[in-house]
Structure 1
Amino acid sequence: MDASFVAMEQPNAPMHIGSVLIYDPSTAPGGFVRFKDILRFYSERMQLSKTMRQKLVKVPLNVDYPYWIEDADFDLEYHVRHIALPKPGDWRQLCIQAARIFARPLDLKRPPWEFTVVEGLDNVPGIPKGSYAVVTKVHHAAIDGMSGIDLINALHTASPSLAPPNQPDTWTPDKPPKRLGLFAKGYVRAWINPVRQIGVAGRSVPGLYRAAKGMVKGEFDVKSAIRTPKTRFNRKVSPHRVFGGVEFPLAEVKAMRVLADGAKVNDVMLSIIGGGLHKYLSAHGELPEASLTAMAPISVRAEDEKGAMGNQVAAMVAPLGSHIADPVERMAYVFAETSRSKAMTNALGARQMTEVSKSSPALFMALGAQLYTRLGLANRVKPVVNTVVTNVPGPPVPIYSAGAKMVSMHGMLCLVDGVGLGHVVQSYVDQATIGFIACREMMPDPEFYDQCLKEAFEEMAKAAGLRPAPAKKPATTRKTSTTRRKTAAKPKGTTSTARRKPAAKKAVPAK
């Protein structure tokens, strides 16, 4: 899985994930945080995460997967950058800067991560004046969503205290391996891989049998995945990105589960995204009749694998109900479809799905990814999914970095040809957020999509009884005549005013 993200790396589609973290420095000792304070805080915690000082070494001719080694030339100040927003320092400016930072590929000859401190957040609603943000970028080969949270935890504390951690730093750099030695080792592993594939295939048989049996009995429905429509987001992506994010009260999101008996928070968030896409594509006159579908990654990381590098994820296909305008009907549809998709994934074995990728030849993976991009197949073939929605639970209590309290977090995903829109659902303390990243050419109006998501949330909140019903108009006291007036005769083919349907209003994008 890790090697596949290295193989898929393209100039127009860098394979890193990240986040936009916002901090209030008033909680730090002295009431402020300088850039050098952040550097010192990070440097004292490098030993808490394996990701920070390791880099990739590729094997000649890609005969084997890349190896991780400890970088002897590690330089913290290269990886942590510093910029400031111009006045007025608002949310839109931050989103533009975050998108530009995120669009740039990482240097894979160094440890594959960068943090950019962005000062000057003076006019962001709900954020204290003088706050700053940290835009993070970490290559997907190094972390998945859950290990990304482990990385966040390593660089934060449970209080504003600046005391260094008790764990000693015993780090020692590695000597760069010889290319001939790497090739020889990779050549041997290339012969071993077919044996591994046989073992993986054998372990996959029970899962395939369960899945086939379930489809015969009608327990699983794969039609929704087969009917995935083509949209503006399903073609070759450009190198340019847009970013946005919305924030909702977590308690209200949880309360919306009443819209479908047995539903989870993830079903609610999928329904909100489905509603947002319904509004966005309808306004552009591009709403497909079939539901858009999302790839929803599933963590299979065991408890004893926490803190380990790399990826332990499988995936399922989740229909979003974007073709349904009514929020209650959409929620019921999403819950029913995701339940079937989860059952199919469980039958196949989520962990077993990750094992298949680990035994795939590295050379074939690299060639396949490059051919898909160079031949422009994303513009020619039908998409498997329309977007990605990943759910990563964040810390349930406030956390601090260099004494500054984190007040907000929004995630970002890597995009690939054929999938030009991605969503990260996160929770932090009492808030739930949806961060989205998109190809700029596919979504030139991210502020409008932001508004569509907010409106979809409000519709679901109203349907769940979380918003007061509109006040009833008082009964009229005007007296009416005791004798009924005759209705004027109407031309043939017309109806009375009371029964006439109102003219359809043209959709106007929200501002």
Structure 2
Amino acid sequence: MKQLAGLDASFLYLETPQMPMHVGALHLLELPADYAGDYVEDLREHMRLRLPLLPALRRKLLTMPLGLSNPGWVDADPDLAEHIVEVELPPDSGMAELEAQVGALHPVLLDRSRPLWKFHVFTGLAPGPEGQCRVALYTQLHHAAVDGQAAVALAQVILDLGPEPRAIEATATRGNKRGRLGTVGLLRAAVAQQWQQTAKLARSLPGAAGILGSMAADYVGSAAGGSAVDKLRTLLADVAAQTTAVVRGKTAVSSLGPAPRTRFNVSLSATRSFAGVTLPLAELNRTRKRHGASVNDAVLFVIGGALRRFLTRHGPLPRKSLIAAVPVSMRAAGDTTSNTQATMSLMSLGTHLADPAQRLAHVIASSQAMKAQMGQVKSLMPTDFPALGIPWLMQAGAMLYGRAKVAEKLPVVANLVISNVPGPQLPLYLAGARMLTNYPTSIAVHGLALNVTVQTYNQSLDIGLMACGEALPQTSELAAYVEAAFMEFQALPVAAVEPEPAPVAKKRGPAKKKAVSKATPKPRASTPRKRAAAG
């Protein structure tokens, strides 16, 4: 038995019927031209052969006595007839029907008496443009078992590079040591884990204090000297709020304080609305390089532009910029452990700026300021901590938080979650079927009723929009605005450098020179896939 780390266990304690804590994806799959089998049965057989290499799918929870500490993982043999199920859709169903099915299935909690995963295979889809037979797959994996990067590692084992599945060497599974410790043994294991976690936390405190002291000294030093832009950037990053933007040599600063309240900052219902949209990765890369932006900068700009369009139509559009909570991976290179290793940063989207060039510069400046601080702060974020008594407190707190609608009463720190997960850049196959799309399906939480998760796949950027069905039923419309914002990004001209006029000399001493911002690069137009929804 292996007990869950504190961060992983938190996803179990916070889960309620209104706030399911599983992640996954919607995949559109194309079967070979000569296929005449039963894909559901073929997928079950495929997974049966891969399970020896997938320990995260071969374990279930074991609750500690009286719920005093984090549960543990124990070996379990999944019943593939229960974990891989068929959903028959009306004949010639399309993307709209698939999105509706994901919205209906996502609030259904995973059975904690079984391994925490489930695959839904959709049949009855309309054929492809050349008559290809198609099915779809919606996957559910509990966040207590995997984060985004761990899910990518699982996919590398499950998926193949060609239609012919690669041979898998059978490996012996572990013995049936399923919770035979007994009550006394489990209590001893829980106490031992608490001691280890407390000792580990205590050892990390001196280092954390040193990092915080260094950050404070850096801030004081920067406040004493340096340019006004540098001072503002340091201050805004330190409070994890909106940041300074440099636009054509001039400084545009959004006000300090909490994020504006929007329709997304509410307590969740038990319904979900989902939509997927695909953008061409090559076009996005060409455009963002001309503007000196990263892929993440481009994603934040496009999503911010879509939100600005949506709120302009449906209102109200806040006068302050929307703030995105952006997960930051703490996973070391090469680490494929199936657990959660991530923390959160806050990024300003510049939605209060009508000029797209100013908005892009704002996003780039916000991103750079946050990256500079996260390098130090990441080491302060614990993923494991003592949990004695925490299960009771967190479960009760999560239920009360939703029922009392606390999200509507607290100041808003962020408006939505935007996550960007790197994925494979070549076509992949599952049980002989070619995977055409990889739309992530992630978690909405109380107070953050919209989650936008992006994953690169086969030279595309696949975006999944998951929202509370009552707060945002129009996810398909928002997806259309994502495409419109992407076209705006492509059409955005390179900003010309406008040198500032020479400063006027003052009577008491010489004038100081002002810094001139760098120019941003020029886009090339392209036409992304059109959506049926009208914007």
Taking the TM superposition and a 5 Å limit, the aligned residue runs for 1:344-423 are: 344-348=373-377, 350-355=378-383, 357-359=384-386, 361=388, 362-363=390-391, 364-423=393-452
Q: Distance in 1 between matches of 2:442 and 2:25?
A: 8
Secondary structure at the aligned position of 2:162 is classed as coil
Q: Distance in 2 between matches of 1:127 and 1:207?
A: 60
1:510 corresponding residue in structure 2 = 534
1:26 to 29, 32, 38: 32
1:64 corresponding residue in structure 2 = 69
Q: How many angstroms does 1:255 deviate by?
A: 1.5
Would the aligned equivalents of 2:159 and 2:428 in 1 still touch at CA under 8 Å? Answer: yes
- Residue 247 to residue 158, structure 1, CA distance change in 2 (3 Å): same
Q: How many angstroms does 1:111 deviate by?
A: 0.5
190-199 or 285-294, larger mean C-alpha shift: 190-199
Q: Distance in 1 between matches of 2:218 and 2:38?
A: 57
2:519 corresponding residue in structure 1 = none
Would the aligned equivalents of 1:89 and 1:123 in 2 still touch at CA under 8 Å? Answer: no
- Residue 258 to residue 399, structure 1, CA distance change in 2 (3 Å): closer
Would the aligned equivalents of 2:127 and 2:134 in 1 still touch at CA under 8 Å? Answer: no
Question: Which amino acid in 2 is paired with 1:257?
Answer: R
Secondary structure at the aligned position of 1:226 is classed as coil
Q: Is 1:238 aligned to 2:269, yes or no?
A: yes
Q: How many angstroms does 1:324 deviate by?
A: 2.1
Q: Is 1:183 aligned to 2:187, yes or no?
A: yes
Would the aligned equivalents of 2:40 and 2:84 in 1 still touch at CA under 8 Å? Answer: no
TM-score (norm 1): 0.85
Q: Distance in 2 between matches of 1:16 and 1:287?
A: 31
Taking the TM superposition and a 5 Å limit, the aligned residue runs for 1:91-490 are: 91-122=95-126, 129-177=132-180, 178-190=182-194, 193-216=197-220, 217=222, 218=231, 219-220=233-234, 221=236, 222=239, 223-224=241-242, 226-258=257-289, 260-261=291-292, 263-306=293-336, 308-348=337-377, 350-355=378-383, 357-359=384-386, 361=388, 362-363=390-391, 364-463=393-492, 464-467=522-525
Q: Distance in 1 between matches of 2:170 and 2:257?
A: 51
- Residue 193 to residue 394, structure 1, CA distance change in 2 (3 Å): closer
Would the aligned equivalents of 1:26 and 1:32 in 2 still touch at CA under 8 Å? Answer: no
Q: Distance in 1 between matches of 2:459 and 2:213?
A: 43
41-50 or 371-380, larger mean C-alpha shift: 371-380
- Residue 468 to residue 51, structure 1, CA distance change in 2 (3 Å): closer
Q: How many residues are paired up?
A: 465
Would the aligned equivalents of 1:400 and 1:406 in 2 still touch at CA under 8 Å? Answer: yes
Q: Distance in 2 between matches of 1:264 and 1:429?
A: 19
Q: Which runs of 5+ in 1 are unaligned?
A: 470-508
2:518 corresponding residue in structure 1 = none
Question: Which amino acid in 2 is paired with 1:510?
Answer: A
Question: Which amino acid in 1 is paired with 2:297?
Answer: D
| Residue deviations 1:143-195 (CA, integer Å, cap 9, x gap) | 00000001111111111113431252434333224234323432454455444
| Residue deviations 1:239-269 (CA, integer Å, cap 9, x gap) | 10011011111011112214632x2111101
Secondary structure at the aligned position of 2:139 is classed as strand
Question: Which amino acid in 1 is paired with 2:16?
Answer: Q
TM-score (norm 2): 0.82
- Residue 396 to residue 279, structure 1, CA distance change in 2 (3 Å): same
Would the aligned equivalents of 2:69 and 2:387 in 1 still touch at CA under 8 Å? Answer: no
Q: Which runs of 5+ in 2 are unaligned?
A: 1-6, 223-230, 243-255, 493-521, 528-532
Would the aligned equivalents of 1:227 and 1:290 in 2 still touch at CA under 8 Å? Answer: no
| Residue deviations 1:360-385 (CA, integer Å, cap 9, x gap) | 55344444434433432112101221
Secondary structure at the aligned position of 2:437 is classed as strand
Secondary structure at the aligned position of 2:363 is classed as helix
Q: Distance in 1 between matches of 2:364 and 2:130?
A: 34
1:4 to 4, 10, 18: 10
62-71 or 244-253, larger mean C-alpha shift: 62-71
Q: Distance in 1 between matches of 2:161 and 2:36?
A: 17
Would the aligned equivalents of 1:296 and 1:318 in 2 still touch at CA under 8 Å? Answer: yes
Secondary structure at the aligned position of 2:91 is classed as coil
| Residue deviations 1:74-131 (CA, integer Å, cap 9, x gap) | 311111111122133111101000111112111112111100011122167x796421
185-194 or 159-168, larger mean C-alpha shift: 185-194
- Residue 468 to residue 163, structure 1, CA distance change in 2 (3 Å): closer
2:249 corresponding residue in structure 1 = none
Q: Is 1:17 aligned to 2:8, yes or no?
A: no
Question: Which amino acid in 2 is paired with 1:398?
Answer: P
1:504 corresponding residue in structure 2 = none
Would the aligned equivalents of 2:8 and 2:145 in 1 still touch at CA under 8 Å? Answer: yes
2:50 to 45, 48, 61: 45
- Residue 392 to residue 127, structure 1, CA distance change in 2 (3 Å): farther
Question: Which amino acid in 2 is paired with 1:104?
Answer: V
- Residue 127 to residue 373, structure 1, CA distance change in 2 (3 Å): farther
1:79 to 83, 89, 98: 83
Paired-residue identity, %: 30
